[in-house]
Amino acid sequence: MAAIPTRLHLLLAALLVAPTLAAAQPQGFGGVVAPPPAYARYVVDAAETAAEEAYDYIVVGGGTAGCPLAATLAGPGGGRVLVLERGGAPAEFPPLATAGGFVRTLAMADPAPESDAPAQTFASEDGVPNVRARVLGGATSINAGFYSRAHPDWFRSHGEGGEAMNWDMKLVNSSYEWVERELAFQPVVRGWQAAVRAGLLEANVTPWNGFTMDHVSGTKVGATTFDSSGRRRSAADLLAFARPGRLRVAIRATVTRIIMSPIEPVARRGRSPQPAVAASGVVYQDRLLQQHHALLRPGGEVILSAGSLGSPQLLLLSGIGPANDLTSLGIPVFADVPDVGKHMFDNPRNGISIIPSIPIDHSLIQVVGIPSANGNESYLEAASYIVPLAPILRRGGPFSPSSPLYVTVVTIMEKVPGPLSEGSLWLTSSNPLESPSVRFNYLSRREDLARCVTGMRRVAKVLESTTMDVFRSAMGSLSQDSRRREFRIVGAALPVDWRTNDTALGDFCQQTVATLWHYHGGCVAGSVVDRDFRVFRVRALRVVDGSTFRETPGTNPQATIMMMGRYIGQKMIDERHSRRQVRTSTDSSSNA
């Protein structure tokens, strides 16, 4: 395998992270102005909301979990719901609408807290660049669109120390189906995806399972959240299922803290006393930096769905977390919950990127390889991108300054499942707009490193398959017929002795580790929240998002996080109905 010039590699890498593209007016396909989405009637800029209002449920974060949760809570049997989203609406950013805009969306990412970009860049203390969503719909509005259900064993092990979360699998499956009716589609597989599918089977990642949304060992085609016309569907579209008059979605609303109120703890025989504090609302600021108060009605709840950085960060800012750490930052302690910000995980991604010798269409992840049923081996995925090169490469060449110059890059990658390596998150600023500091300690556990070594060997075997020969380029100065054919590698190539040298392959894994944007943890179930996702030692406060995961649920988490929003929403409505029945029964007894 031959590496392409370093200069080109750096330009390609810079393209993926440079904050260069400004938002434009929302347009549909062919430049036609797109009709407003069905949920638009619920959306309002935070600057237009009242200084103080009361709700039954306040959902912090209009993302992957928050949107289905809010839609459910504002549906039959629910109450009045407020969603607070720090970013704007997807329609404000045209590249978000199609798969072809994926790279451009990453290029729009901006680290500045005050930016309007739909994604915010940050780098972990490990030195690995990353992004977090800052738009209604959350990661489902900016990601690669791959949809696949969780590994079945995940439901039996989800929770700190393997604590059973008592998932109702009938409700789990119906919640998945509720999401899938609106957001999951069967993709058309061709080009690079079809080649990778054949290569996986040739590399013995079998059996062939065809199209399925289930997590099954072998090679399969998963669902996509891009519909048959190529338009992205996101979690924000689920908001349309709310009942009119019950839902308000405030965008550009940054929650600064949870309002905590003392309550009288009640001692219970043989058990610890009930919480001494309760959430009674939140404070949020709009784009004009004006403060607003959203308060809870009696029996209401605050639910954090701000993601694996935002949810633990907001708990800490509100005085819920390790008491010693909070005191050292001058934050009043309302609840000593030592594991807030602990148990942070990010699945390592390693792979090989190639400039192919033949034209390839743009494609995001559709085909995956799952080598083993027990989830102990890395998952294999692939994508292809058509990206514009920097104008500097055209100077002095046959192209005019306005002539587009593009290059196709294809990639095949492995994702370490779990992972076992864990880190932590902590505050370095009291500014809620800024990302907290986080360290993931990638591949620090030898088991994860061994999985990466095995996974990269599988990647190499796929590239060695006969299907991949067509993507090799003729190299050297001999005649066309006599030239050797090799892959034109973007970035680091595998060591030449990858078949036998575990140490060299392990060094490759550590030196090229990147993120697949599936980070999770910080409010782990069984450690920060209970089996109903209530925060320990605090009443009327839950966390419902990927921050509660100790391990990622299979090849991609978005399906399960959306399912969880629907699932917990249904559970909360059942609880609301039960409380009403108790009150009615009590009132009837009193009247009698």
User: H/E/C letters for each residue in 408-441?
Assistant: EEEEEEEECCCCCCCEEEECCCCCCCCCCEEECC
Return the minimum-mean-pLDDT range out of 157-166, 398-407, 471-480.
398-407
DSSP string across 435-502: PPEEE--TT-SHHHHHHHHHHHHHHHHHHHSGGGGGG-EEESSS-TTTSEEE-EEESPPPPTTTTT-H
Give the pLDDT confidence of 63-101 residue by residue, as tens digits.
Answer: 999 999 999 999 999 999 999 999 999 999 999 999 888
Mean pLDDT of 446-460: 97
| Mean pLDDT of the chain, nearest integer | 88
Return the minimum-mean-pLDDT range out of 92-96, 180-184, 250-254, 533-537.
92-96
Q: How buried is residue 484: exposed, middle or buried, by Cβ count under 10 Å (0-12/13-18/19+)?
A: exposed
Closest CA to 134 of 349, 374, 433, 523: 433
Residues forming the active site:
518
Share of the chain above pLDDT 70, in %: 84
Asked whether the predicted pLDDT for residue 51 surpasses 70, the reply is yes
DSSP 517: S
CA distance 563 to 554: 14
Confidence of residue 27 (pLDDT cuts 50, 70, 90): very low
Asked whether the predicted pLDDT for residue 207 surpasses 80, the reply is yes
0.85 surpassed by pTM: yes
Query: Kindly report the CA angle at 502 between 500 and 507, in degrees rounded to 5?
Result: 130
Return the minimum-mean-pLDDT range out of 67-71, 374-378, 445-449.
374-378
Asked whether the predicted pLDDT for residue 586 surpasses 60, the reply is no
CA distance 281 to 302: 7
Tokens representing 552? 């990622």
User: What is the structure's pLDDT at 17?
Assistant: 34
Contacts with 9 (C-beta within 8 Å, 6 or more apart), sequence order: 3, 490, 491
Tokens representing 361? 């269409």
Residue with tokens 């005649």: 479
Asked whether the predicted pLDDT for residue 541 surpasses 70, the reply is yes
What H or E segment, with its residue span, contains residue 543? strand 541-543
Q: How many residues does the chain have?
A: 592
Return the minimum-mean-pLDDT range out of 246-250, 280-284, 427-431, 474-478.
474-478
Mean pLDDT of 133-140: 97
Mean pLDDT of 552-575: 96
Residues making up the binding site: 135, 255, 517-518, 546, 557-558
User: What is the structure's pLDDT at 404?
Assistant: 57
SS3 state at 345: strand
User: What is the structure's pLDDT at 114?
Assistant: 85
CB 70 within 8 A of CB 313: no
User: What is the structure's pLDDT at 361?
Assistant: 87
Confidence of residue 19 (pLDDT cuts 50, 70, 90): very low
Tokens representing 231? 């338009």
Mean pLDDT of 194-214: 97
Return the minimum-mean-pLDDT range out of 47-61, 253-267, 312-326, 340-354.
253-267
Mean pLDDT of 382-401: 59
Contacts with 86 (C-beta within 8 Å, 6 or more apart), sequence order: 61, 134, 252, 253, 254, 255, 310, 433
Confidence of residue 433 (pLDDT cuts 50, 70, 90): confident
| Range from 8-17, 76-85, 267-276, 372-381 that averages highest in pLDDT | 76-85
Asked whether the predicted pLDDT for residue 146 surpasses 50, the reply is yes
User: What is the structure's pLDDT at 368?
Assistant: 98
How many Å is the Cα radius of gyration of the chain? 25
CA distance 424 to 344: 5
Closest CA to 21 of 99, 117, 86: 117
User: What is the structure's pLDDT at 512?
Assistant: 97
User: What is the structure's pLDDT at 22?
Assistant: 28
Asked whether the predicted pLDDT for residue 210 surpasses 80, the reply is yes
Closest CA to 360 of 386, 381, 387: 386
In this structure, which amino acid lies at residue 454? T
Confidence of residue 393 (pLDDT cuts 50, 70, 90): very low
Tokens representing 131? 């992004």
User: What is the structure's pLDDT at 160?
Assistant: 59
Mean pLDDT of 205-225: 97
User: What is the structure's pLDDT at 25?
Assistant: 31
User: What is the structure's pLDDT at 578?
Assistant: 83
User: What is the structure's pLDDT at 407?
Assistant: 84
CA distance 425 to 412: 30
- Give residue 449's Cα distance to chain centre: 23
Tokens representing 5? 């010039």
CB 138 within 8 A of CB 90: no
User: CB count, 10 Å around CB of 204?
Assistant: 12
Mean pLDDT of 211-237: 97
CB 384 within 8 A of CB 410: yes
Pair type for strands 247-251 and 223-224:
unpaired
Asked whether the predicted pLDDT for residue 401 surpasses 60, the reply is no
CA distance 132 to 135: 10
If one compares 520 and 20, the residue with the highest pLDDT of the two is: 520
Return the minimum-mean-pLDDT range out of 30-39, 265-274, 493-502.
265-274
CB 559 within 8 A of CB 149: yes
Pair type for strands 277-285 and 423-426:
unpaired
Asked whether the predicted pLDDT for residue 475 surpasses 90, the reply is no
Query: Kindly report the CA angle at 253 between 261 and 55, in degrees rounded to 5?
Result: 45
CA distance 564 to 67: 11
Residue with tokens 């058309």: 188
Contacts with 524 (C-beta within 8 Å, 6 or more apart), sequence order: 159, 160, 339, 342, 343, 547, 548, 549, 550
CA distance 390 to 388: 7
User: What is the structure's pLDDT at 391?
Assistant: 44
User: What is the structure's pLDDT at 14?
Assistant: 39
Asked whether the predicted pLDDT for residue 164 surpasses 80, the reply is no
Tokens representing 133? 């969503």
CB 524 within 8 A of CB 549: yes
Mean pLDDT of 20-38: 49
Residues making up the binding site for FAD: 135, 255, 517-518, 546, 557-558
Mean pLDDT of 118-128: 95
If one compares 156 and 444, the residue with the highest pLDDT of the two is: 444
What's the CATH number of domain 37-389+404-453+511-580, 2.60.40.10, 3.50.50.60, 3.20.20.70, 2.30.30.30? Answer: 3.50.50.60
Q: Which whole-number Å values give the CA distances from 119 to 93, 113, 434, 571, in the listed order?
A: 11, 10, 13, 31
User: What is the structure's pLDDT at 162?
Assistant: 47
Confidence of residue 103 (pLDDT cuts 50, 70, 90): confident
Asked whether the predicted pLDDT for residue 587 surpasses 80, the reply is no
Tokens representing 580? 């009403």
User: What is the structure's pLDDT at 432?
Assistant: 86
User: What is the structure's pLDDT at 579?
Assistant: 79
CB 345 within 8 A of CB 519: yes
Share of the chain above pLDDT 90, in %: 74
In this structure, which amino acid lies at residue 317? L
Mean pLDDT of 135-152: 96
